[in-house]
Structure 1
Amino acid sequence: MANTSQARKRARQSSERNKHNSSLRSMLRTAIKRVTQSIQTKDKSTSEDVLRKATSIIDRVADKGIIHKNKAARHKSRLTMSVKNMLLNQQ
């Protein structure tokens, strides 16, 4: 356990940040799963709408430094490509 007041404060801050970052990471994973599920249902309008919301969440999480910008770009690119492929295969 922390001995100094500074160390106690750092431990408190670290714990709070961990909770906050964990919730953001969970929100990111859920958004990605929703897009993949909507792709599997092959519903065009729903997939595009869910993708738009997921892109916003991915960008927000990357801006806060929870994930790296390149990882965010990779997720967005793959999800967008999947939605476009789904739409092309429907025609």
Structure 2
Amino acid sequence: MANHKSSKKRIRQDQEKKVENKYYAKTMRNALKKLRATTEKEAAVAELPKVTSMIDRLAKKNVIHKNKAANLKASLASHINKL
């Protein structure tokens, strides 16, 4: 267990960040599921910039890896083009 005041604080901060990151990651996954479930091309095209922006923000904050973000965006674009 941590003995220093600074290490105890770091543990508290890490726990808070973990909860926050899990929330944002789950929100992203729900948005992806919703977009992939859409069958109308117009609705999917309208929703794509919002989801792409969300993915970019999470990659910038290191919640997800930048390569994973790129792969997700590419797969979404491919999915929408097939509609």
Query: TM-score scaled by structure 1?
Result: 0.83
Unaligned runs of 5+ in 2: none
Aligned partner of 2:36 in structure 1 is: 36
Aligned partner of 2:9 in structure 1 is: 9
* 1:43 CA drift (Å): 1.0
- Are 1:55 and 2:52 counterparts? yes
* 1:17 CA drift (Å): 0.8
- Are 1:77 and 2:65 counterparts? no
Aligned partner of 1:27 in structure 2 is: 27
Aligned residues: CA RMSD? 1.2
Unaligned runs of 5+ in 1: 87-91
Aligned partner of 1:89 in structure 2 is: none
Whether the aligned pair in 2 keeps the contact of 1:34 and 1:50 (CA below 8 Å) is no
Among residues 63, 66, 74, which one is paired with 2:63 in the alignment?
66
Aligned partner of 1:45 in structure 2 is: 42
4+ aligned runs moved over 2 Å, structure 1: 1-4
Aligned equivalents of 1:4, 1:70: Cα separation in 2: 37
Larger radius of gyration: 1
* 1:2 CA drift (Å): 2.8
Aligned equivalents of 2:72, 2:2: Cα separation in 1: 39
